[in-house]
């Protein structure tokens, strides 16, 4: 009888481990295959104004995930700047988001620029998602 209980325990225990590993792999694959943040405007390789540029985007966020946010970096120059959530759930809903950049607050410059959006959650800080768009900054007209 004791032998049968041990076998049953091992079967249940190892089944749980296999299920856990299987579920972990599925979640990891889902994170790799799905983009959690995107920049919808400006478009890649677009020529943009360096005096004022509104960046728009989307993420997998919703009003329930209030520990998550989107922030933006230009040309890898810190710090990241927090975007504003514009989703239907209000200012904390980053399912859609926006931020206005210029040459003074972000490092946006004439010529080639890389805009990086970062989606991160305080509950899982090791799993941020990034999305980059390369744009060309136009000279600011002088009068």
φ, ψ of residue 8 to 5 degrees: the values are -60, -45
List, run by run, the mean pLDDT of 10-residue segments along the chain (143 residues): 50 36 33 73 96 95 80 94 93 94 88 96 85 93 71
pTM of the model: 0.72
Q: Which residues, 6 or more positions from 29, have their beta carbon under 8 angstroms from its beta carbon? A: none
Cα–Cα distance for residue pair 117/55, rounded to 1 Å: 9
Query: What's the pLDDT score for residue 23?
Result: 35
Question: CB of 70 within 8 A of CB of 96?
Answer: no
Q: Which residues, 6 or more positions from 106, have their beta carbon under 8 angstroms from its beta carbon? A: 72, 74, 77, 81
Query: What's the pLDDT score for residue 94?
Result: 93
Structure tokens at 46: 């677009």
Question: CB of 121 within 8 A of CB of 32?
Answer: no
Query: What's the pLDDT score for residue 142?
Result: 73
Query: What's the pLDDT score for residue 34?
Result: 59
Structure tokens at 117: 């959006």
Query: What's the pLDDT score for residue 65?
Result: 64
Query: What's the pLDDT score for residue 85?
Result: 94
Query: What's the pLDDT score for residue 127?
Result: 84
Cα–Cα distance for residue pair 92/94, rounded to 1 Å: 6
């Amino acid at each position: 009888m004791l032998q049968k209980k041990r076998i049953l325990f091992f079967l249940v225990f190892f089944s749980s481990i296999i299920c856990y590993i299987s579920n972990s792999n599925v979640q990891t694959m889902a994170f790799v295959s799905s983009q959690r943040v995107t920049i919808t405007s400006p478009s890649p390789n677009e020529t943009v104004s360096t005096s004022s540029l509104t960046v728009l985007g989307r993420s997998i966020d919703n009003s329930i995930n209030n520990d998550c946010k989107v922030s933006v970096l230009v040309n890898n120059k810190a710090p990241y700047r927090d975007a504003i959530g514009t989703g239907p759930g209000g200012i904390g809903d980053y399912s859609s988001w926006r931020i206005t950049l210029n040459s003074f607050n972000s490092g946006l410059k004439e010529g080639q620029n890389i805009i990086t959006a970062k989606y991160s959650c305080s509950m899982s800080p090791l799993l941020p998602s990034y999305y980059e768009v390369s744009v060309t900054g136009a000279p600011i007209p002088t009068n």
